[in-house]
Chain A
Amino acid sequence: MLRIVFHRLLQTIVVVFVLVSFTFVAVRLVPGNPFVSDKALPEHLQESVYKSFGLNGTWGEQYVIWWRNVLTKGDFGPSTSLFGRSVNEIITQSFPTSLLLGLVAMTIALLIGIPSGVLAALRKNSMIDYGSMIFAMAGICIPGFVLGPLLQLWVARHSNFFNVAGWESPADILLPAITLGVGVAAYVARLTRGGMLDILSQDFIRTARAKGVPTFTILRRHALRPALLPTVTFLGPAFAAIITGSFVVETIFMVPGMGQHFVTAVTSQDYFLLQAIVLFYGLLIGGANFLVDVAQAAMNPRLRDAN
């Protein structure tokens, strides 16, 4: 078990490192520069501007300096597109917003997905089954950028409770979180149903049934834990889906989160901001994958007890 944890941790660090390095090179391979790109600055001005942002060295030097500042001082550098603001400031402002949105979306996804998947499996080929599988298919085929505007149009505009967009009242989190969560809920429902059907057809469940154990107890004591293994495996990718989904959803509902900053950082070639955001996303997704792997090993006795 400890070996698995160590191995996965090492893997996660390597992946995050490669991802950030790729970003570092990628933004510099794009022609143009991070500063207002329409007019080229005079040579001597450009030099001093580059110098003041620490962009005057070779890529190797910049790379080493950036990592050193990040690791030793926690300093991510200045933003080049939002003048006068540091990347640290932007991230501390937007990260909690995105995290909150992501967590609420994930909660919604699990609260919808797991029960409907379990019910569908228990009542296979019934109206409940078909209903939840149609819902799941709809969740996959109606993505956030379609669902979001429709919710604004048909829900927010007709109620006093929801604002069409913005991030002022606590209720403002609901519509974006639903938009973000429904797609993930769809996959969760399908996976839970599949896992449940697998387990329910096995001998030990039949034995429990034959003994006369009530269905609910069978679920709680025997079926749920192994049946949820595929769902747990999916939580890592689900987390990644929520993060990338937030690019779209934050734009639609004008949520002041990291997703919006990611998109503008790409288009405005904001080197430092982009590197920092990708580092954060990498850590989040890598961390989620790591936790999922460990949880999975802990849930599965065959993996847990292997040295």
Chain B
Amino acid sequence: MAKSNQEGTTALQLVLAWGFVGIPLTLGVLQTLINAMKLFQ
């Protein structure tokens, strides 16, 4: 019973959650940076 009242977040859950949003965002930002570099060419 006591266990059901706990909801400990593990490090793995945090990594998965941040990776889930962070990886696509990072890829998108990198792609935009590559395109933005054309301003300096």
Q: Do A and B come from one complex?
A: no
- The interface of chain A, by Cβ under 8 A from chain B, is none
